[in-house]
Structure 1
Amino acid sequence: TFWTGSYINANTGGGRSGKDANTVLASINTFDPQATCDDVTFQPCSSRALANHKVYTDSFRSVYSLDSGIAEGVAVAVGRYPEDSYYNGNPWFLTTLAAAEQLYDAIYQWNKIGSITITSTSLAFFRDVYSSAAVGTYASGSIAFQAIISAVKTYADGYVSIVQTHALTNGSLSEQFDKSAGTELSARDLTWSYAALLTANNRRNGIV
C-alpha cells in the first residue's frame, strides 16, 4: 500500500521520504465531482488526501527560505519533493497551484455532499485552519460548516497569492521560482504552469 498511516508514499524503496507533489496531482486528477470523500481513490475531500496535503506542504516549511517562519495552516511555496536537487531544489508554480486546486476541489465536494466529515486521520489538517475542529460531521446549515469552508478557501487562496507574488509583472510563469529570492527559474513560460493556474481558477469558481 502507498498509505503510510499519515501520508501517501509516492516513492517506496527509493531512498526518499515519499512526500511528493505527485500525490496531490493524483488527487486532483482523480477528482470526481459526483464522488463522495472516498479514501480509496484519494478524492480531494477524503481524510487521507487532506492528511497527505498537510504532510506534503509542511515538508517544505523548513526547506525553502521563502517559507521560513510561516505557520502551519498558512500557504507556503511547494515543490516536487523536499529532497529535490534539480536546479538546487525549488518551488514550482504548478505544484503550488495544485495545492490550491485540491482544496478548491474539496470545497466543491463538501458543498455538493452537504456536509464535512472530520476523522482522526484528517483532524490535524482541519485544526490548522479551524482551531475548533473536532472529529464529527458538520451539516451544511451549521455555523461550523460555513466557517470551515471559509477557512479552507482562504488557505487555498494563499497558494494562488504566492504564485501571483512571484510571477513576472507581465504575468509570465516559468517552471520554478528560487527558494530564497523568489525569482523565476528554469523553463520559461511553461505550459503546465499556465494550465495549472486555469484549472485552479476554474475549481475555485465551481467549474468542473
Structure 2
Amino acid sequence: MRSDGPGLAGWAERQYAVSARNLTLGVSATHLVKQRPPFRQRIVPKPGSVVATAVMGAYDPDPDYFFHWYRDSALVMDALRIAIADGSRPAADAGLVRDFIRFSLDLRGLTGAAVLAAGDPKRGVDPAFVQHVRSDADLRGVAGDRIWGEVRVNPDGTLDTLNWSRPQHDGPALRALTLLRGLDLDGLDRAGAAELLHIDLAFTLAHHREPSFEIWEDSLGHDYYTQAVQCAALREGAGWLEAQGDAGTADRCRQASAALATALDGHWQADAGAYASLLPASSDAPRRALDIAVILGVLHAGLTDGPHSVLDPRAQATLAALEDLFAGLYPINQDRPSGRAPALGRYREDQYYGGGAWYIATLGAAEFHFRLAGALAGGTDFALTADNRGFVARALGAEPRAEDAASPAGRRRLADAFLARGDAFLATVRAYTPDDGALSEQFDRTTGAQTSAKHLGWSYAGFISALAARRKASVSLRAR
C-alpha cells in the first residue's frame, strides 16, 4: 500500500483479522439477555439472529441497537461469506449462515394481529414510554408479506412493537443478493436458501414501485440506495429463477429491474453534479442531494458495469462532490497530513450523535476506488467525461488526458492512481481506529473520538468488503 507510511499494509491486514473476528459478536448471540424495563421486555436472541451490536445500550448515551435489522444482518452475512472464502473465518461458520436462513424463514408467521390477540402491548409499559409503542392500527397492518417491510425484528424472533420508520424495502433485496452470492458456499442449506430467495424476490417484485423510508430511516420517498439494491437483486435473481425453470417470473424480474434502472437515472441532478439520494414521495417535501447512501447503494448493488456501477462517471462525480462537502464541513479534515483523504459522513444536515464521520462512509469511498482499480486492471474500458474529470484529476494529481482512458497503458496508470486514492481513505480510517481495532458507528467530526454504537457489525463488514476489493485489485494489477 502506498499511503500513510510503510506501516499501512501491515495495519490493514491486522485490522482485517480483527474485523473478521469481531464481525460475529452479534451473530447467534444466544448467551446475551437484553432487558428493556420501561417496556417490560426481556429479549434472548435465537440462533441465526444478528444484532446490530452486541454492546447493550439504552441511549445512555449508547443507542439501543439490540435488534435484528434486515439490512445490517444481510450485510454482515455477506461479509461473513467473504471471510469464510478467504479463510479468515472457519469453514464451520457456514452453520451461522444456515441458522440465519432458518431464523429468517421462521419470521414468516409474524403478524400484528397475533401481538394484539396476546394482549394490549401498552399494558404495563412505563407511562413515560407509552408514546414509543406502536398503535393498534399500525400493528394490524403487519400481515402477509408486509413482515418483510418491517425494517427490524427482535432477535428472539418476535415482532418489534416500538415505533420506528416503516416500511423499508431494502432488506429483502439485500438478503437476496447475499444469498445469490453465497450459493456455492460449502455446507449451505441450499433448499432453505432457495425458499428464502423466492420470498425476497417476490417481495421486491411486488413492492419496488412503492416509496419507503430510506437507508438512514429518516424520510419517506424513492431512495437511490433502495432502488439500486432492488435493481441488482431482480437482475441477478432473474438468472437464478430462469435456471430454476421459472421463466415467467424471471421475465417479470428483468422488466422490473429495467424500470428501476430508469428510475435511478432520474436521480441525476445536473445542477449539483451528483445523484440525489432521495426523491420525496410528495412534491412539497425536500429532496436530499449529497448523501453517502448513493455510494453505498452502488457498492452493495454490485453492478459490474454501466450506469450505477463504480464505472458510472456520474457515480464517480457524486463521490467527488461528497469528498468536497466533508473536506470543508469537518474540522478533522482541516490540515490533514499528506496521504490522507477526507473522513466522510452521511449528509450535510446530519445531527445524529453529533453528525460525525462514519466508518462505513469512509470505507465505502476506499472500496469504491479499489473496485474501480480492479475493473481497470482487468481490462475494462473507462469513460472520461465532463462529469468525472474532477474525480479522475484528484486521483491522478493532474488533469486527465484522453489517452488515460483510451490506451492499456493509460488505464493501468488510472488503476494505480485509484488504488492509491483508496489507500488514502484507508489511511484516514487507520488514523481514527484505536489500537485494539474496535470499530464503532461514528468518530467525532471535531475530535475524532469514537461515538454512537460500539462494535457495530456493519462497520466490521465495511472493512472486510473494502479490503477484499483491494486484495482483488492488487492481484489483477500484478497479473498485468
Give me the TM-score of the superposition, normalised by structure 1.
Answer: 0.88
- Quote how far apart the aligned CAs of 1:132 are: 3.5
RMSD: 2.1
Structure-1 separation of matches of 2:375 and 2:437: 30
Letter in 1 for 2:385: T
Paired position in structure 2 for 1:138: 406
Structure-2 separation of matches of 1:127 and 1:108: 18
Paired position in structure 1 for 2:385: 119
Paired position in structure 2 for 1:160: 426
Higher helix share: 2
Structure-1 separation of matches of 2:422 and 2:366: 4
Structure-2 separation of matches of 1:63 and 1:120: 26
Structure-2 separation of matches of 1:20 and 1:167: 23
- Quote how far apart the aligned CAs of 1:129 are: 2.0
| 1:180 maps to which of 442, 446, 466 | 446
Structure-1 separation of matches of 2:336 and 2:313: 24
What percentage of residue pairs aligned between the two structures are identical?
25
CA contact (8 A) 1:118 1:135 kept: yes
Paired position in structure 1 for 2:365: 99
Structure-1 separation of matches of 2:415 and 2:376: 8
Structure-2 separation of matches of 1:99 and 1:107: 13
Letter in 2 for 1:3: W
Counterpart mapping for 1:19-168 below 5 A: 19-32=290-303, 35-36=304-305, 38-39=306-307, 42-69=308-335, 75-130=341-396, 131-135=398-402, 137-140=405-408, 142=409, 144-168=410-434
- Quote how far apart the aligned CAs of 1:107 are: 1.3
Q: Residue deviations 1:152-194, cap 9 Å, x none?
A: 1111111111111111110001000011111111100100000
Q: Residue deviations 1:48-101, cap 9 Å, x none?
A: 111111011211111100112459x96110011121011121001111101111
1:11 paired with 2:278, answer yes
Paired position in structure 1 for 2:470: 204
Which structure has the higher relative contact order (CA within 8 Å, separation 6+)? Answer: 1
Give the aligned length: 199
Letter in 1 for 2:400: A
CA contact (8 A) 1:92 1:175 kept: yes
- Quote how far apart the aligned CAs of 1:11 are: 2.4
Structure-1 separation of matches of 2:276 and 2:467: 28
Unaligned runs of 5+ in 2: 1-265, 474-480
Q: Residue deviations 1:13-61, cap 9 Å, x none?
A: 55465200110001111223xx33x12xx10121111111101121111
Report the structure number with the largest CA radius of gyration.
2
Structure-2 separation of matches of 1:103 and 1:183: 26
- Quote how far apart the aligned CAs of 1:139 are: 2.3
Structure-1 separation of matches of 2:430 and 2:394: 23
- Quote how far apart the aligned CAs of 1:111 are: 2.1
Q: Which ranges of 4 or more aligned residues in structure 1 deviate by more than 6 Å?
A: none
CA contact (8 A) 1:67 1:76 kept: yes
Give me the TM-score of the superposition, normalised by structure 2.
Answer: 0.39
Structure-1 separation of matches of 2:424 and 2:347: 20
Tell me: CA distance 1:16–1:66, structure 2 relative to 1, closer, same or farther (3 Å). farther
Structure-2 separation of matches of 1:17 and 1:135: 34
Structure-1 separation of matches of 2:276 and 2:382: 25
Structure-1 separation of matches of 2:406 and 2:340: 23
Q: Say which SS state the counterpart of residue 59 (structure 1) adopts.
A: helix
Structure-2 separation of matches of 1:101 and 1:189: 20
Unaligned runs of 5+ in 1: none
Structure-1 separation of matches of 2:342 and 2:352: 19
Letter in 1 for 2:290: K
